[in-house]
Amino acid sequence: MGLAIIYIVIGGIVGSVLGHLLAPAWAPLGKSLLTVGALPGTTWSINLGVVGIQFGGWLELNLLGVIGLIVGLFWYRRGA
């Protein structure tokens, strides 16, 4: 299961990067389809007085990112 997640994440990252690179040629490839989590540049903080923790993250997918996720899943299934 862990290996499947790695394949899917790598497929999504490669697809997303390709989407951003090819967006000038065709705008829908780089358009954000889904954004989940904290907005970029914002964090969640916990201040306990003595120690504080900040963390944040987000997921933003474009068309080729979604296709990359699917290709990563097929890539994993083919090798399993």
Instruction: For residue 41, give both structure tokens.
Output: 């540049």
Q: For residue 63, what are the domain limits?
A: 2-79
SS (H, E, C) 1-24: CHHHHHHHHHHHHHHHHHHHHHCC
Q: Which residue has the higher pLDDT, 48 or 44?
A: 48
- Residue 80 pLDDT: 61
pLDDT in tens, 1-21: 889 999 999 999 999 999 989
- Residue 30 pLDDT: 82
- The number of folded domains in the chain is 1
Q: What pTM, to 2 d.p., does this model score?
A: 0.72
pLDDT in tens, 47-79: 888 888 888 777 888 999 999 999 999 999 988
Of the candidates 78, 76, 66, 80, which has an alpha carbon nearest to the alpha carbon of residue 5? 76
